[in-house]
Amino acid sequence: MQIPIFIVLPLGLLAVSTASIFVRMVPDLPAVTIAFWRMAIASAILWAVTAPRRPTGLSSANRGRVIIAGILLGLHFACFFGALKYTSIANATILSTMAPVFTAIIERFALGRTWSKTILCGLIAAIGGAVIIQGGHLGLGHASTTGNLLGLAASVFIAGVLLLTEQIRKDSAALVFSRSLYLVGALTMLLMAGFSGQSLLPAAKGDFLWLVLLGVIPTVFGHTSFYYAVKFVSPTVVAAVPLGEPIVASTLGWYLLQENVPGLTVVGGALTLAGLFLIIYQSRRIQPN
């Protein structure tokens, strides 16, 4: 039974928006360490849930795609968590959710897909709102340049993940695909930690609780929801939904961490939410070609 996409995508957005908060709770852990535990925990949970059912595995062609997608996902998380170390929650989440720009270009010019006016208006509004929220702090001379660039790199990597996921999900179940995706991502971070000499051990006893929450809420429930949805709607539609993450994350950051929410975030957030409403509403009628 297919779960309605207009339910899956908003719930996925709420789940992934908690990631920034959990990461801020482990300030002493390197980005690679956080990314490793996030994916390792999520993979372990999904393998435990699905193994007793003996689901159909991945085809040989999809195994290769999963390996590439898993590496890209690991790099996405590493860049995103690295961005959070150098810049604000708002900046990191905005720039790391620019994936629809890249997926839209590829889908239009490489895959020959066309978009309805409603989808295009929604994308323009959502991205425009994100730019307004950013408030012009993308200059190379800005103190958070490193974080901004890492956030943008995270968008490129997750765009690749979603485009590959569309191909894999044509004949693979979401949970079977996701458990392998997260496993490859965790192994990628394990290799990166080995080459860089970084420890994968939590710095304090309380860190592991936040890492578990990071693996469960924004990963198992959040990212897996997006990988479920990409079988029924295009990667660009799915990629656009996390544009609402800066709004939810900034609100949580203000409420839980007392981080200031600039006025531009409020204005841009309203525009982004309006765009996401159009995209999600119209997505019920859009199917990938």
Q: In angstroms, rounded to a whole number, what is the distance separating the alpha carbons of residues 266 and 251? A: 10
Q: Is residue 200 part of a domain?
A: yes
Question: Which regions of the chain are under pLDDT 50?
Answer: 138-141, 285-289
Q: What is the tally of helices (H) and strands (E) in the chain?
A: 14, 0
| Structure-token pair, residue 209 | 């609780």
Q: Is residue 289 part of a domain?
A: no
Nearest by Cα to 287 from 123, 165, 164, 166? 166
pLDDT confidence of residue 92: 75
Contact 77, 161 (CB under 8 A): no
Q: Could you identify the residue written with the tokens 């908060």?
A: 21
Query: End-to-end distance of the chain based on CA atoms, in angstroms?
Result: 21
pLDDT confidence of residue 288: 46
pLDDT confidence of residue 211: 95
pLDDT confidence of residue 136: 52
Q: Is residue 71 part of a domain?
A: yes
Domain that holds residue 81: 5-283
> DSSP for 205-249?
TTHHHHHHHHIIIIIIIIIHHHHHHTTTS-HHHHHHGGGGHHHHH
Contact 10, 183 (CB under 8 A): no
Q: Is residue 288 part of a domain?
A: no
pTM score, two decimals? 0.84
Write out pLDDT tens, residues 15-32: 998 887 888 888 888 889
Q: In angstroms, rounded to a whole number, what is the distance separating the alpha carbons of residues 107 and 213? A: 34
Nearest by Cα to 82 from 37, 42, 29? 29
3-state SS assignment for residue 150: helix
**Into how many domains does the chain fold?**
1
Q: In angstroms, rounded to a whole number, what is the distance separating the alpha carbons of residues 134 and 158? A: 20
Q: Is residue 64 part of a domain?
A: yes
Write out pLDDT tens, residues 170-181: 999 999 999 999
Q: In angstroms, rounded to a whole number, what is the distance separating the alpha carbons of residues 15 and 91? A: 19
Q: Which amino acid is at 272?
A: T
pLDDT confidence of residue 289: 45
Nearest by Cα to 24 from 288, 207, 178, 198? 207
3-state SS assignment for residue 124: helix
pLDDT confidence of residue 148: 79
